[in-house]
């Protein structure tokens, strides 16, 4: 265990990633692959927290652009993250891994309320903790929630699992000449306005000295390789 670079990690998964190629809802194959990857991580003795997004079901900011008020739109987005968290919990527990969903808003019948000390205790007992409902406040994204939870649980690193293999100077899915970065500073990310995470989350990570790794979560084994010390994706610190 002493040879591993990280003891406790916070993994951010977007809702879009859970949707897979269908771009909406939940993809059974994607959820199964994630669960199998997480089983390998837990077997290493690494403590793992997860923040899930809800963009595969509902995105408050987009709804606000279509005329809905931002606050109720964001509340609906929080509920979408709870749906994703419960689904992810179900797939993970199929492989005998103890999991807890903790919500920043009250949904006592389906999730525990988020209490930092309780979350830390779950992690110490080897349970995966899935943090749902973002920060519990409108106007804050799940990226910011991930940065906040990483700080609160004293994670050694914040991992952002995406559909691309790191941070580029422009969208690699649209530009064949896009340049990939192996290492970046937070100042470089902010100065170049690279779309790694939203600016609030990036600023929070910078101010609280939280290292960030952005990597391709759709490729089986990448998460395990990264946590064993391989240079996977892009490091921001």
Report the C-alpha gap between 104 and 113 in whole angstroms. Answer: 6
Residue 138 CB neighbour total at 10 angstroms: 17
pLDDT digits (tens, 9 = 90+) for 91-112: 999 999 999 999 999 999 999 9
**pLDDT tens, residue by residue, 124-168:** 999 999 999 999 999 999 999 999 999 999 999 999 998 889 999
Domain 8-236: assigned CATH number: 3.40.1160.10
What is the per-residue pLDDT across 9-54, written as a single tens digit (0 to 9) for each? 999 999 988 998 888 899 999 999 999 999 999 999 999 999 999 9
Domain locations in the chain as residue ranges: 8-236
pTM of the predicted model, to two decimals?
0.93
Instruction: Assess contact for 154 and 7: CB atoms under 8 A.
Output: no
Rg of the chain over CA atoms, in angstroms?
17
The arithmetic mean of pLDDT across residues 82-98, rounded, is 97
- pLDDT computed for residue 1 by the predictor: 46
Nearest residue to 209 via CA among 186, 189, 190, 232: 186
Q: How confident is the model at residue 63 (pLDDT cuts 50, 70, 90)?
A: low
**If we measure between CA atoms, which residue out of 37, 48, 17 comes closest to residue 157?**
48
């Amino acid at each position: 265990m002493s040879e591993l670079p990280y003891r406790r990690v916070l993994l951010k998964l977007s809702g879009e990633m859970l949707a897979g190629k269908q771009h909406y809802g939940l993809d059974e194959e994607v959820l199964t692959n994630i669960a199998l990857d997480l089983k390998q991580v837990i077997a290493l003795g690494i403590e793992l927290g997860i923040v899930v997004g809800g963009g595969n079901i509902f995105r408050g900011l987009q709804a606000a652009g279509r005329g809905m008020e931002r606050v109720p739109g964001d509340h609906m987005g929080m509920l979408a993250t709870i749906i994703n968290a419960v689904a992810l919990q179900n797939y993970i527990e199929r492989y005998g891994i103890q999991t807890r969903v903790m919500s920043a808003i009250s949904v006592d019948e389906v999730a525990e309320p988020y209490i930092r000390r309780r979350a830390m205790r779950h992690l110490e007992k080897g349970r995966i903790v899935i943090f749902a409902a973002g920060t519990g406040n409108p106007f804050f994204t799940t990226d910011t929630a991930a940065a906040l939870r990483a700080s609160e649980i004293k994670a050694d690193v914040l991992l952002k699992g995406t559909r691309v293999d790191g941070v580029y100077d422009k969208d690699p899915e649209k530009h064949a000449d896009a340049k990939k970065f192996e290492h970046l500073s937070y100042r470089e990310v902010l100065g170049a306005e690279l779309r790694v995470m939203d600016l609030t989350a990036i600023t929070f990570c910078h101010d609280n000295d939280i290292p960030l790794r952005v990597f391709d979560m759709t490729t089986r084994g990448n998460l395990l390789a990264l946590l064993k010390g391989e240079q996977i994706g892009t490091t921001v610190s």
